[in-house]
Amino acid sequence: MESRTARPPSGAPSRFRRVAATPAYRQVAEAIEREIIAGRIRPGEPIGTEAQLVSQFGVNRSTVREGIRLLEHSGLVRRDSSRRLWVGLPHYGRLALRMSRALVLHEVTFRELYEASLPMQLATVEAAVERATPETIAQLEENIARTERALGDPSEVAKLDAEFHGLVGKASRNRVLQLAREPSELLVMPTTEMILKRVKEGAPRLLHAHRMYVDAIRRRDKQAGRLWARRHLEDWRKGFERAGKDLDQPIDRIYLEST
Amino acid sequence: MESRTARPPSGAPSRFRRVAATPAYRQVAEAIEREIIAGRIRPGEPIGTEAQLVSQFGVNRSTVREGIRLLEHSGLVRRDSSRRLWVGLPHYGRLALRMSRALVLHEVTFRELYEASLPMQLATVEAAVERATPETIAQLEENIARTERALGDPSEVAKLDAEFHGLVGKASRNRVLQLAREPSELLVMPTTEMILKRVKEGAPRLLHAHRMYVDAIRRRDKQAGRLWARRHLEDWRKGFERAGKDLDQPIDRIYLEST
DNA sequence: ACCAATTTGTCCGTATGTATG
DNA sequence: TCATACATACGGACAAATTGG
């Protein structure tokens, strides 16, 4: 790589802005990224071995590796069992996790979380009512059955609640909506567990809301779907306040340590 | 780092599940990440030099560097002008860009984009109506003034449109909502430019909608805000179809090459 | 404004374990 | 089974940039 910065002679007036020297490892990453984004290399195709990249870019192995790591981290490049390099499809889950972490670090409040979740849940359930297939409805019912059996176990119910909303998201068949909703869901889930531990009637109410949810989806009743999505989330908020918490507090970062 | 995999002797019955060997560079990254997520190192604090990390983790410098790169990539660690390492706050913009790229690679359709954008726009404008300050209203008006002067220049109007919605997002004072909305916005923007180039009445209609938007915000009129947000986005959809495009097509990846 | 110490960016070479044919 | 290719990790090195006298 030819580019390094050149410092202007100390005495001379600074006539030029300093050249933005992109480090070699970043040039490597960006070059490969461009090929993928532009679609010239497609997901599932091989990138080549490290040695090949070394000779193509004319840099050292260490430099190539630093660049590759960036792409692996964002999911654009994957390694299979043999550690060979392939173009990958970044998976939502990882991105959503990172977003939720960013939200926690920025100390967003539970009120922001609640306010943003409501419209996204409503939109999701509407789409799910429109497009749910028998298979996903069956999965939802199976989730409800498991929730019934787990009613006494708050953390299990919270996990099943998250799974439930994931299934509704899948039923919505709208990936943009899913990706927008998922980070919030990741933050709501641990709070749900806390609420269920402190508010006894929480779990049965949650189960009932889920039942009505699925019923609305099965009957393709958008209004009922919206109604129960709203009630379900309102229950969450009420339970939150009943548990003695303040909506305007930042989300505790403790909730993310587990992941 | 002590952990490597150990292959069981070929003849022996496989009594144990294979150990998941986390590579050293990843262990380094995860260790530092945990400290930051848990809040034991706070944004703005120094991480230490590479040499220090080498001695603390007991690994080679190349290994440390590969690990650090991951954290730099996700924004958890920053380097200042002197390239020293600091804890950083991941900025939304980068995350949003990654998400929009992921959406394009997954070939989501314009219909998904439209359907997801609507409720988020509505929620955003509602919150903005509630909480906009005189300063952000002034910025919105200034944006409108610039849009008036740029009416003949589609790409400039599209840019100002994106800025406008960014300002509305800021006015909403809900960062969860903003982060959820931004990836979609990044995908809508280039499409807006395409539409404005092909549909002549697009720019004046856009400007008018913005005017009514701000008027609603100034009058704290939630209903009007929702109405014009809906019309504005519907204009986008109609313009899209008027331009001869199909809503059910995947988003062209061409739109992301520029970034 | 100069100098010395630190630190980063990059490179070279090597040893070892693993996967593939 | 064995040989080969390859990724992981290590140690050492040097030039350029930055820092702090």
For the segment A53-69, what is each residue's pLDDT rounded down to a tens digit? 888 888 888 888 888 88
Domain assignment present for A241: yes
Domain assignment present for B254: yes
Say if the Cβ atoms of A184 and B176 lie within 8 Å.
Answer: yes
Minimum-distance CB partner of B112 among A112, A118, A175 = A175
Say if the Cβ atoms of A180 and B123 lie within 8 Å.
Answer: no
| Whether residues A65 and A176 fall in one domain | no
Q: What residues contact B204, with CB distance under 8 A and at least 6 apart?
A: B151
**CA nearest to B107, candidates A151, A89, A12:** A89
**CA nearest to B184, candidates B90, B257, B258, B255:** B255
Nucleotide nearest to B80 (CA to C1'): D18
β strands within B40-169, DSSP E: 77-79, 85-87
For residue B141, the domain's CATH number is 1.20.120.530
Q: Could you tell me how many CB contacts below 8 A there are between chain A and chain B?
A: 148
End-to-end CA distance of chain B: 39
Query: What pLDDT band is residue A22 in, cutting at 50, 70 and 90?
Result: confident
Contacts by A74-78, CB closer than 8 A, 24 or more apart? A74/B73, A74/B98, A75/B102, A76/A32, A76/A33, A76/A36, A77/A32, A77/A36, A77/A47
Domain assignment present for B1: no
Separation of alpha carbons A78 and B239, rounded Å: 39
Nucleotide nearest to B61 (CA to C1'): D10
Say if the Cβ atoms of A99 and B179 lie within 8 Å.
Answer: yes
Minimum-distance CB partner of B256 among A37, A117, A179 = A37
In this prediction, residue A11 carries a pLDDT of 38
Separation of alpha carbons A99 and A126, rounded Å: 25
- Of the candidates B87, B115, B138, which is a domain's last residue? B87
User: B247 vs chain A: nearest CA distance in angstroms?
Assistant: 13
pLDDT tens digits, A26-57: 888 888 888 888 888 888 888 888 888 888 88
| Whether residues A76 and A193 fall in one domain | no
Residue type, A40: R
**CA nearest to A192, candidates A181, A207, A174, A171:** A207
The reply to whether the CB atom of residue B49 sits less than 7 A from any atom in nucleic acid chain C is yes
Q: Is the pLDDT of residue A143 over 60?
A: yes
Residue B157: burial class (beta carbons within 10 Å; 0-12, 13-18, 19+): buried
| Whether residues B146 and B127 fall in one domain | yes
| Whether residues A148 and A177 fall in one domain | yes
Domain assignment present for A4: no
In this prediction, residue B16 carries a pLDDT of 47
Separation of alpha carbons B167 and B108, rounded Å: 26
The reply to whether the CB atom of residue A63 sits less than 7 A from any atom in nucleic acid chain C is yes
Residue type, B5: T
User: What percentage of chain B reaches a pLDDT higher than 70?
Assistant: 89
If one counts every other C-beta atom within 10 angstroms of the C-beta of residue B258, the result is 6
Q: Is the pLDDT of residue A201 over 50?
A: yes
The reply to whether the CB atom of residue A23 sits less than 7 A from any atom in nucleic acid chain C is yes
| Whether residues B38 and B143 fall in one domain | no
Range of the domain at B69: 24-87
The reply to whether the CB atom of residue A4 sits less than 7 A from any atom in nucleic acid chain D is yes
Instruction: Using alpha carbons, list the distances in angstroms from residue A245 to A195, A248, A255.
Output: 10, 9, 15
Closest residue in A to B182 (Cα) is A180
| Whether residues B195 and B249 fall in one domain | yes
Separation of alpha carbons B120 and B174, rounded Å: 11
| Whether residues B140 and B184 fall in one domain | yes
Q: Could you give the number of structural domains in chain A?
A: 2
Separation of alpha carbons A112 and B45, rounded Å: 27
Query: What pLDDT band is residue A189 in, cutting at 50, 70 and 90?
Result: confident
Q: What residues contact A191, with CB distance under 8 A and at least 6 apart?
A: A110, A236, A240, A251, A255
Domain assignment present for A18: no
pLDDT tens digits, A146-180: 999 999 899 899 999 999 999 999 999 999 999 99
Those nucleotides of strand D lying less than 7 Å from any protein Cβ are 1, 5-13, 16-19
Query: What pLDDT band is residue A18 in, cutting at 50, 70 and 90?
Result: very low
Question: Which residues on neighbouring strands pair with residue B78, listed in sequence order?
Answer: B86
- Of the candidates A41, A56, A87, which is a domain's last residue? A87
Domain assignment present for B40: yes
| Whether residues B116 and B32 fall in one domain | no
Query: What pLDDT band is residue B257 in, cutting at 50, 70 and 90?
Result: low
Domain assignment present for B2: no
B 10-39 → A contacts, CB under 8 A:
25, 34, 36-39
Q: Which range among A77-81, A198-202, A206-210, B165-169 shows the weakest confidence by mean pLDDT?
A: A77-81
The reply to whether the CB atom of residue B258 sits less than 7 A from any atom in nucleic acid chain D is no
Query: What pLDDT band is residue B22 in, cutting at 50, 70 and 90?
Result: confident
The reply to whether the CB atom of residue A29 sits less than 7 A from any atom in nucleic acid chain C is no
Q: Which residue's CA lies closest to nucleotide C6 at its C1' atom?
A: B49
| Whether residues A148 and A73 fall in one domain | no
Q: Is the pLDDT of residue A239 over 70?
A: yes
Closest residue in B to A95 (Cα) is B99
Say if the Cβ atoms of B37 and A253 lie within 8 Å.
Answer: yes
| Whether residues B154 and B81 fall in one domain | no
Q: Is the pLDDT of residue B14 over 50?
A: no
- Of the candidates B48, B71, B87, which is a domain's last residue? B87
Q: Is A122 on the interface with B (CB under 8 A)?
A: yes
In this prediction, residue B51 carries a pLDDT of 84
pLDDT tens digits, B237-246: 999 898 888 8
For residue B55, the domain's CATH number is 1.10.10.10
Select the residue from B28, B113, B176, B254 to test the A interface by mutation, using most A Cβ atoms within 10 A: B176
Closest residue in B to A103 (Cα) is B176
In this prediction, residue A208 carries a pLDDT of 94
Separation of alpha carbons A118 and B123, rounded Å: 9
Q: Which range among A13-17, A223-227, B69-73 shows the weakest confidence by mean pLDDT?
A: A13-17
Separation of alpha carbons A207 and B178, rounded Å: 31
Closest residue in B to A183 (Cα) is B180
Say if the Cβ atoms of B176 and A116 lie within 8 Å.
Answer: yes
β strands within A173-227, DSSP E: none
In this prediction, residue B254 carries a pLDDT of 65
Q: Summarize the confidence of residues A86-102 as an average pLDDT.
A: 88
In this prediction, residue A3 carries a pLDDT of 38
Q: Summarize the confidence of residues B47-56 as an average pLDDT.
A: 86
Q: Summarize the confidence of residues B220-227 as an average pLDDT.
A: 94
User: B63 vs chain A: nearest CA distance in angstroms?
Assistant: 9
A42 CA from D5 C1′ (Å): 25
In this prediction, residue B1 carries a pLDDT of 40
Decide which of A1 and B67 is more confident: B67
Domain assignment present for A9: no
Helix B175-198 vs helix B154-172: crossing angle, to nearest 10: 160
Q: Is the pLDDT of residue B12 over 70?
A: no
The reply to whether the CB atom of residue B240 sits less than 7 A from any atom in nucleic acid chain D is no
* Residues of chain B contacting A184 with CB distance shorter than 8 Å: 176, 180
| Whether residues B150 and B244 fall in one domain | yes
In this prediction, residue B255 carries a pLDDT of 63
| Whether residues B74 and B98 fall in one domain | no
pLDDT tens digits, B116-153: 999 999 999 999 999 999 999 999 999 999 999 999 89
Say if the Cβ atoms of A120 and B115 lie within 8 Å.
Answer: no
Residue B45 host element (H or E):
none
Nucleotide nearest to A49 (CA to C1'): D6
* Residues of chain A contacting B247 with CB distance shorter than 8 Å: none
Q: Summarize the confidence of residues B68-91 as an average pLDDT.
A: 85
